[in-house]
Amino acid sequence: MSTNGNGHKHKHNNGHEHSEHLIDLRDLVKVYRTPAGDFPALRGINLKVGRGEFVSVVGKSGSGKTTLINMITGIDRPTSGEIVIANAPVHSLNEDQIAQWRGRNLGVVFQFFQLLPTLSVIENVMIPMDLCNTYPLRERRGRAMHLLELVDIAENANKLPSEISGGQQQRAAIARALANDPPIVCADEPTGNLDSVTADAIFDLFADLVSNGKTLLMVTHDEDLADRAQRKIVVSDGNIIAGETV
Amino acid sequence: MAHEILHEQEIAHAEDTIEVPAERERPRVKAPLIEIPTRWVKILKDMWGNKTRSLLVIFSIAVGVAAIGMIRTGRDVIENDLFAPFLLTNPSSASLYIAPLFDTDLAHAVEGMPEVERVEARRTVAAFAFDPQGKKWDFGMEAVPDFKDIRVNQFDVEKGIGTPGVREVLLERRSADSLGVTVGDVVTVQLPDKNTYPLTVVGIVHDLSKIPPFLFNETNAYVTMDTLRWMGQGDGYNRLDVITSEPSTSRAHVVEVASQVRDRTLEPAGYALGSIAFGGFSSKPRSFWSQDQINGINVVLNAMSIMCMLLSGGLVINTISAILTQQVKQIGVLRSIGGRRAQIIEMYLTNVLVFSVLALIIAIPLGLLGGFGLASFFADRLNFDVRGVSLSPSTLLIQVAAGLLIPLGAALLPVIAGTNISVYDAVYQYGISGSGRNGIIDRQLNRIQTLTRPLAMSIRNTFRNKARLGFTLATLTLAGAMFISVFSTRASLGAQITEMQRYLLFDVTVPIPRNISVYIAEREARRVPGVAVAEGWANTRANVIHADNSEGGEVEIRTTPDKSITIAPEMVAGRWLLPDDGRNVVISYDVLDHEPDLKVGDSLTLSINEKQRTYHIVGIASRHINRYVVYMDYGQFVKATGWADPVSEVRIRVDPAHLGTRPQQEAVAKAVEQHFRDAGISQSHPHILPETLDQISKSFDIVLIFLIIMASLLSIVGGLGLAGTMSMNVMERTREIGVLRAVGASSRAVRRIVLFEGMVVGLTSWLLSVLLSYPLGKGLSDSVGVAVFHSASPYTYSWQGMIGWLVLATLIGAAASLAPARRASRLTVRQVLAYE
């Protein structure tokens, strides 16, 4: 299930090294330029994640764990290094290419859910299909309903996000992340804003997704939850100090 | 390259589809009747979810589009229902006043000239008539040779018959309204000799060549020559209405043809050409009597509608920026779930397009209605019928183009700028505003230490987003400058009228017939109780003769008593007349409009009663508003005219030291009228000063009403813009406001910071408006002056307008920030955290 850093590699015809790993980060550096001076958030990260892995990323505040996940999702860009995900050189794509790639290949779950407030729960799940044109118009509502059933909030489908609880909003956000059926789901502190019972339920949901073949990366402060993942990566001062390889 | 990879991915992830358990019973999906793509659902729901803001944008676009429609439709109606029918009446190029009375043979002779296209003889007789309230109206009677074949200045019969018999009269419809009579009624006409004649109204006609009575209290009627004979008037005509050969609308050509008529036909036959009239205020022959004014008003209104549309564009920029600012996180989320920038740009531009279409739906009928209102307003004043309004294809096209393209164009920049944000910045960085405030303005503001903290924060906050501040200030400044300019225009025209009063320093003036001696007129006036000063003035008409012997413009020659107290001339150059000043004359500045080369020291040759005399200009008096006046010594006037002891009017003062009150003026006017009638001096109705000034004011009040309406619209648009900006500012600083509250700021303190900020913007815009309003006001004042009076008035800056806008700008600033301030003060620390 997991691979180590010695996985097979060969040159891809686009000039990037082809990787057998689903996620392959190579010498990843991220430096933030601030008025107070340069701040290195990631200092040469190398990480490989295989298909179907459930990886938790932990670390103290400011350690670089959110930056790391943002590199994988393409939300933030590296200062140097390569990000190859399912053989896509994410680091070399422009913003629009990344958006399109992400929409089809990677679901993102934020700490604060980030549902669109004027759309109902089901419409929030439908909108990625619309933006990426992945399913015919007539099929989208049915598929969105399937996903809401999967995350167990189908009865709230026509409610606005403000009308449901935080846990239900996070479930809706997960359903939205799955809308285009991406192989990878990345979640940044998905339980950070939830009580422990709801957090457990969300974790179980993630575990179900992994058992259905999804690859899941989850940033969390919660050591207990992190320990329940198949693989735990510990980030400190911009370096992976544990879990780089399994 | 990337696309190849994406293609591979599509194939790859198709194998990973999640299987949904089939055995679970699905809740009912409430599917809409028509499924539309979710991003468009979002746009519609966003619009509906923020109705106030949506209405604000729709209204601001609609205001500009409706203004365009109103002005263009109004103009079309005036073109179709006034100017076009007017041309069908065969309007004359000029009216030639001829003495002595002549018969139709002379008219035929003139018509035989190759320079003349068509001629009609008319006889005009000035009389009076009384309305049911006893008000006395000037009553101008005209006789034509054949009512069944009117060839020039034709009119339509609206009621009754078009051919009056003896002792019968046709009335112009507005005159009939003013006199309160209709077909079958009898109108009592009083001639200057005091004799009265009952005339039966047999027809009501519509004559577009006549100025409606509301302006000069003059009513118009048509009678036969037999009726005039019955009234004791001599047989024959005194006016020729002439349509010249082409170019029949060229003033120079018409004057030249009139000279030819005089030289080759009138004078050889023993007739004298008294004066040439072009009709109304229009400078162009064969044009409607107020065409210049209408055109002038159109130019000003057009400029205002364009400005309104531009301000609407500014408001669209502000509001779309507000929407984008509010939705920065949403834009980030849309991008995080696969939205391309082009898709997001398309979404927001579609949003603007929907706003525009809704605005058009409101604005097009509103513009049509406004156009109808505008045309009806003019129709009422100018005596024409609005036969209906229709939306011309060109107006519709311009409205649609302006309504769609201007908002889209305006929104393009903020949409492109607003969507150019990475997911990281949108989701993780937004709400932490402006760390690098190091501009000159910011540094200077930071140095101000004497202000209270909340006030200092308000002022510094104002200048944080300079681009947005720039847009808001531009909108409000333009509105403010226009507001002050309208008041300055009003002040300039008002000052011009007040200034003109120096030539009208009388309480009452009474026209006197020519056969009365000035000594008798003055003496009889002084006998009336309440009259302290009576001055006999005489005037006549003359033409300027150029050095090459060609005829120039017509002027009015006036002679005043020595040491007159009813005139206090302001000299632009040279000096005023001295007693026994010989051939020295003073001209009004207005004369220079037609004779721009004249100056003090020049000779001036005038043709008076067919005799040419040369005078010496010793002074130029200030503007008289459209009065081309030459003042001369009384003795010279007598020599020039050959009249003995001439007097044309008696000017009366109730007190030598100052003008009387209106009741005093009215009482004296009544007493003088009675006394002059009893003494057989004059049957004329005296005029009091306020009436005279009212008549002048009326002519530009119409323009000012429209300008004030437009300035108010601009102020509303400006205020809406500021409201949008303040909402954005509060939105962007939600986190800061939370911090302020966390460190102990009360709701009142937060509210005050936002309110102050709005007022600082209002006051800054006021300062800029004051600067801009001077040149803008001068331009507007000149345009309106030229439109109304044919000459630009001396510019008077309106301090009242400036103070008024200060109050308004402060109020707009406060009102526009009220809602955002309340919203800010209601934010709790918890909500601010939730804003994450």
Question: Structural domains in chain A?
Answer: 51-77+93-242 (3.40.50.300)
B337 → closest Cβ in A89, A176, A212: A176
pLDDT, mean of residues B188-211: 85
pLDDT of residue B770: 92
Measured between beta carbons, the chain B residues lying within 8 angstroms of A100 are: 6, 338, 340
- Give the best-scoring range by mean pLDDT among B97-101, B216-220, B316-320, B484-488: B484-488
DSSP codes, B636-679: HHHHHH--SS--SEEEEES-SSSPPPHHHHHHHHHHHHHHHHHT
* Between B307 and B58, residue with greater pLDDT: B58
A50 CB within 8 Å of a chain B CB: no
Tell me which DSSP letter residue B275 carries.
Answer: E
What does the block give as tokens for B343? Answer: 């898709």
pLDDT of residue B749: 79
Measured between beta carbons, the chain B residues lying within 8 angstroms of A130 are: 37-39
DSSP codes, B686-735: PEEHHHHHHHHHHHHHHHHHHHHHHHHHHHHHHHHHHHHHHHHHHHHTHH
pLDDT of residue B20: 43
A118 → closest Cβ in B1, B19, B46: B46
Q: How confident is the model at residue B305 (pLDDT cuts 50, 70, 90)?
A: confident
pLDDT of residue A4: 35
What is the C-alpha separation between A85 and B219, in angstroms, rounded? 93
Residue B592, helix vs strand vs coil: helix
pLDDT of residue B433: 47
pLDDT, mean of residues B227-239: 87
pLDDT score of B716 more than 80: no
A196 CB within 8 Å of a chain B CB: no
* Between A202 and B136, residue with greater pLDDT: A202
A76 CB within 8 Å of a chain B CB: yes
pLDDT of residue B619: 93
For B443-474, how does the pLDDT look when each residue is reduced to its tens digit (9 = 90+)?
665 666 565 666 666 666 666 667 777 877 88
pLDDT of residue B700: 64
pLDDT of residue B12: 38
pLDDT of residue B311: 75
pLDDT of residue A217: 92
Q: Where are the beta strands (DSSP E) in B449-494?
A: none
Subunit contact A105:B9, Cβ cutoff 8 A: yes
Q: Give strand pairing partners of B69.
A: none
pLDDT of residue B374: 82
For A156-195, how does the pLDDT look when each residue is reduced to its tens digit (9 = 90+)?
998 999 889 888 898 899 899 888 888 999 988 888 777 8
What does the block give as tokens for B792? Answer: 């630009």
Subunit contact A116:B5, Cβ cutoff 8 A: no
For B374-392, how does the pLDDT look when each residue is reduced to its tens digit (9 = 90+)?
888 888 878 888 888 888 8
pLDDT of residue B452: 62
Tell me which DSSP letter residue B212 carries.
Answer: P
A182 CB within 8 Å of a chain B CB: yes
Residue labelled with tokens 């909500």: B831
What does the block give as tokens for B233? Answer: 């008037």
Q: How far is B56 from chain A (nearest CA, A)?
A: 19
What does the block give as tokens for A59? Answer: 């670390």
CB proximity list for B256: less than 8 A, separation 6 or greater: none
- The backbone region for A216, taken as left when phi is positive above 0, alpha when psi lies in -120 to 50, beta otherwise, is beta
The answer to whether A38 touches A30, Cβ cutoff 8 Å, is: no
A75 CB within 8 Å of a chain B CB: yes
Q: What is the pTM of this model?
A: 0.70
What does the block give as tokens for B605? Answer: 């040759």
pLDDT, mean of residues B645-671: 87
Q: How confident is the model at residue B14 (pLDDT cuts 50, 70, 90)?
A: very low
pLDDT score of B835 more than 60: no
Residue B776, helix vs strand vs coil: helix
Subunit contact B16:A181, Cβ cutoff 8 A: yes
pLDDT of residue B400: 92
What does the block give as tokens for B558? Answer: 């006036």
Q: Count how many residues are written for chain A.
A: 246
What does the block give as tokens for A140? Answer: 């989208």
Q: What's chain A look like in SS3? A: CCCCCCCCEEECCCCCEEECCCEEEEEEEEEEEECCEEEEEEEEEEEEECCCCEEEEECCCCCCHHHHHHHHHCCCCCCEEEEEECCEEHHHCCHHHHHHHHHHHEEEECCCCCCCCCCCHHHHHHHHHHHHCCCCHHHHHHHHHHHHHHCCCHHHCCCCHHHCCHHHHHHHHHHHHCCCCCCEEEEECCCCCCCHHHHHHHHHHHHHHHHCCCEEEEECCCHHHHHHCCEEEEEECCEEEECCCC
Q: How confident is the model at residue B543 (pLDDT cuts 50, 70, 90)?
A: confident
Measured between beta carbons, the chain A residues lying within 8 angstroms of B18 are: 147, 150, 178, 181, 209, 212, 214
Which residue type does B524 have? E
pLDDT, mean of residues B231-250: 83
**In this complex, how many residue pairs, one in chain A and one in chain B, have their CB atoms less than 8 Å apart?**
173
A116 → closest Cβ in B18, B31, B42: B42
pLDDT score of B25 more than 60: no
A142 CB within 8 Å of a chain B CB: yes
Measured between beta carbons, the chain B residues lying within 8 angstroms of A129 are: 38
- Positive/negative CA dihedral, B114, B117, B122, B128: negative
* Measured distance between the N- and C-terminal CA atoms of chain A, rounded to whole angstroms: 10
Q: Report residues of chain A scoring pLDDT below 70.
A: 1-20, 243-246
For B419-432, how does the pLDDT look when each residue is reduced to its tens digit (9 = 90+)?
888 788 777 765 44
To probe the interface with A, which of B5, B35, B420, B424 has the most A CB atoms within 10 Å?
B5
Q: How far is A242 from chain B (nearest CA, A)?
A: 26
Taking each helix axis as running N to C, give the angle between helix B328-336 and helix B341-382, from 0 to 180 degrees, rounded to the nearest 10: 140
Produce one character per residue of B297-309: b if its CB has 16 or more CB atoms within 10 Å, e if not: bbebbebbbebbb
A103 CB within 8 Å of a chain B CB: yes
What percent of chain B has pLDDT above 70? 86
pLDDT score of B361 more than 90: yes
Measured between beta carbons, the chain A residues lying within 8 angstroms of B341 are: 95-96, 99
Q: For A52, which residue in chain B has the nearest alpha carbon? A: B16
Q: How many angstroms separate the Cα of B128 from the Cα of each of B139, B198, B206, B208?
A: 5, 12, 20, 21
